[in-house]
Structure 1
Amino acid sequence: MIRPTRTSPALLSAGLATIYLVWGTTYLGIRVGVETIPPFFLSGIRYLLAGGLLFTLVALRGGLAGGWPSARQWLSAVLTGTGLVAIGNGALSWGEQYLPSGPAAIFIATVPIWMAILGRVFLKERIGLLASIGLAIGLGGLVVLVGPAALKGGDLVPMLACVAAAIGWGAATVYSRVAPFPNNPFQVAGMQMFAGGAVVFVFSLLSGDAARFHLGTVSTRSELAFLYLLLVGAILGFGVYIWLVKVAPLPLLSTYAYVNPVVAVVLGHFLLGEQVSLRTVIGGGVIVLGVALVVASRSINETRAEPADRPRLGEPEPAASASR
């Protein structure tokens, strides 16, 4: 395992704070964006532009010197991009038309839980005691959040859409571990975002979602939210994350998985005036605890399992985080 590069505590803290704030606020950005922009159209345009820009920057910096990605690598990008962007971000954006950003972020925080389950089912990865406890706790938190809506017929469908988004993210990330990809993580992220953006954009056209887009009816709030999601959420957030992968200890870096939903709930309340119910606090707290245990277990297992000469950036998993 490549050991983290020595970096000043202040700079490391600034990087982590950036990830917490940027990815925690993307849920607010989506909530504001879908006020006047159709959700699938928003996701498609955002990731077509972000992926195209990132892939172009990689090419200009010599990232394609080893050759153009193969057909198999592009197919992997389409499959993972569909999970990360078309399902992961598209379903989330649709759900946030009806749900506040805070609860939506809590549902997405369950991604590590679905990764553990799907990794066990498809890759036969072992789930230790700590992770098993985390899974049980996290799924229990989901029941707390979704159960009343299922019984009373409330916002059940938007909630399930956000759960589906988390499962899509988890499935794509698990598949990324075995899929053929180029070695450059920035190139992989550009391919995934562009391919996923293309898939969800086509869906937007076929479903009639894009037909509801009229530039004259887009509010200034939604325009600014779109620019924030594109430039800050996708480009800046991913760049800082890749830097942190190189300099931060894995357990410390993994904290974003359960800090981001807390940031989203707090800022959603203060910036958007979203009401935070007791059920959201209890269910969200239980989910965050479960996710923390799963992430801690994975960090411990990866630290023990990786040989000294294996790069920690060997998996394209950071690209999954770029889809925030």
Structure 2
Amino acid sequence: MEKKTSLPLIIAAFFAIYVIWGSTYLLNKVAVGELPPFMLAAVRFVSAGLLVFGIAALLGKPLRISRKQFLNATFAGFLFLSLGNGMVVWALKYVDSNFAALIISAQPLLVMFMMWMLQGQRLRPMSLVGVFLGALGIYLLVSQATLVRHPLAWVGILMIVSAMIAWAYGSLFVGKADMPSNFFVNTAYQMLIGGIFLGLMSIGAGEAWVAPSTWSLPTIWSMALLVIFGSIVAFTSFNFLLKNVSPEKVATNTYVNPIVAMFLGWYFLEEPITGQSMVAALILLTGVYFINTGRKKIGLRRFQGKENGVRKEAASERE
């Protein structure tokens, strides 16, 4: 059952992961045209992590956490940022930003599948319809030669799918793990640790680091927006929501992210939006809707079952 918290705060957090994260595809696409992908992500998250630590300290939040919380934050940061974000940024060298966003819109399918495999939750008929529609939408999307035009585009797609798996597992893990109680502190540890891992991945991949003094103005603006809004605001909101609403509801940001990304990619980068892409997006997001609707019914039935059990126990006591 979801925790009781401020509704306006939840709405603001959803806006952040819906709209702000939708714009990060464009920002990453602009920056990765000039910077190595793992280096880009490492600089982004180390910078954001240090800034969030500073914010937490100014707010008087205790930065000390337990060993278990540190290990959990390390694992979460590696899943979400080193793998979940780093591989997507790498893939953007070879696929359009709107194309990547549409593939990632299938994230709830993976969340549902992992909840079935790892937590034993049953798949409802409506969820199965959603899986079919999601698979059909992805096929229609990736089967377009006009969009999969780079020689390494298929490698990029595999990297995105791997990132989605890491992100889905991380969502389930964080939902139940012992994490730092303050959301700023939690975010700071995950970002700094994830950024350090990304730096090591960059060195391991042999990337040539580019000094900030040589960055173009569009890259500087993109990095600044990624650090402040895409990282600090949106990722803090994401961690907040994972502790206050169910993981599959948090994953619904994939309804809006691809729409925002498609529009921005078309407007600023002149990325094509084909008729088949629009049909694929409609089918894919319809599938996600069916999946989340099926999950809501399961949650409602479980709540009603618990409520009925309480009533029966109360009746027995009265008798």
| Shorter-chain TM band | 0.7 to 0.9
Task: Show the counterpart of 1:177.
Answer: 175
Picking from 110, 115, 118, the partner of 1:114 is 110
1:272-308 deviations in Å (ceiling 9; x for gaps) = 2111123322222222222222233334444554689
1:81 aligns with 2:77: yes
1:105 aligns with 2:101: yes
Task: Show the counterpart of 2:19.
Answer: 21
Task: Show the counterpart of 2:198.
Answer: 200
- Contact 1:109–1:166 (CA<8 Å) still a contact in 2? no
Structure 1 residue 187, shift from structure 2 partner: 2.4
Structure 1 residue 147, shift from structure 2 partner: 4.2
Distance change in 2, residues 1:38/1:153 (3 Å): closer
Task: Show the counterpart of 1:292.
Answer: 289
- Contact 1:77–1:192 (CA<8 Å) still a contact in 2? yes
- Over the matched positions of the two proteins, sequence identity in percent amounts to 28
1:277 aligns with 2:274: yes
Distance change in 2, residues 1:198/1:241 (3 Å): closer
Distance 2:60 2:266 in 1: 44
Structure 1 residue 195, shift from structure 2 partner: 1.5
Task: Show the counterpart of 1:264.
Answer: 261
Picking from 115, 118, 124, the partner of 1:128 is 124
Picking from 28, 31, 39, the partner of 1:30 is 28
Distance 1:48 1:80 in 2: 15
SS of aligned partner of 2:81? helix
SS of aligned partner of 1:158? helix
SS of aligned partner of 2:33? coil
Amino acid at match of 2:276: R
Segment of structure 1 superposing worse, 74-83 or 14-23: 14-23
- Contact 1:254–1:295 (CA<8 Å) still a contact in 2? no
Task: Show the counterpart of 1:218.
Answer: 215
Task: Show the counterpart of 2:314.
Answer: none
- Contact 1:5–1:248 (CA<8 Å) still a contact in 2? no
Distance 1:289 1:146 in 2: 17
Structure 1 residue 242, shift from structure 2 partner: 7.2
Segment of structure 1 superposing worse, 117-126 or 17-26: 17-26
Amino acid at match of 1:49: S
SS of aligned partner of 1:69? coil
Q: What TM-score do you get using the length of structure 2 for normalisation? A: 0.81
- Contact 1:48–1:193 (CA<8 Å) still a contact in 2? yes
- Contact 2:46–2:195 (CA<8 Å) still a contact in 1? yes
1:30-51 deviations in Å (ceiling 9; x for gaps) = 1001011111011111111212
SS of aligned partner of 2:85? helix
Distance 1:154 1:199 in 2: 24
Distance 1:205 1:304 in 2: 50
Structure 1 residue 29, shift from structure 2 partner: 0.5
Q: What TM-score do you get using the length of structure 1 for normalisation? A: 0.80
**Number of positions where the alignment pairs a residue of Structure 1 with one of Structure 2:** 302
Structure 1 residue 133, shift from structure 2 partner: 1.8
Distance change in 2, residues 1:130/1:78 (3 Å): same
Distance change in 2, residues 1:138/1:6 (3 Å): closer
Distance 1:288 1:169 in 2: 19
Amino acid at match of 1:37: L
Amino acid at match of 2:75: L
Distance 1:164 1:156 in 2: 12
Amino acid at match of 1:220: L
- 5+ unaligned residues in a row in structure 2: which ranges? 308-319
Task: Show the counterpart of 1:156.
Answer: 154
Segment of structure 1 superposing worse, 109-118 or 224-233: 109-118
1:213-267 deviations in Å (ceiling 9; x for gaps) = 2445422111110001111112233456678889999999765320111111012
SS of aligned partner of 2:225? helix
Distance 2:189 2:130 in 1: 33
Segment of structure 1 superposing worse, 136-145 or 233-242: 233-242
Structure 1 residue 13, shift from structure 2 partner: 7.5
1:85-107 deviations in Å (ceiling 9; x for gaps) = 11111111011112111111112
Structure 1 residue 17, shift from structure 2 partner: 5.2
Amino acid at match of 2:166: G
Output the aligned Cα RMSD.
3.3
Picking from 44, 55, 58, the partner of 2:56 is 58
- 5+ unaligned residues in a row in structure 1: which ranges? 309-324
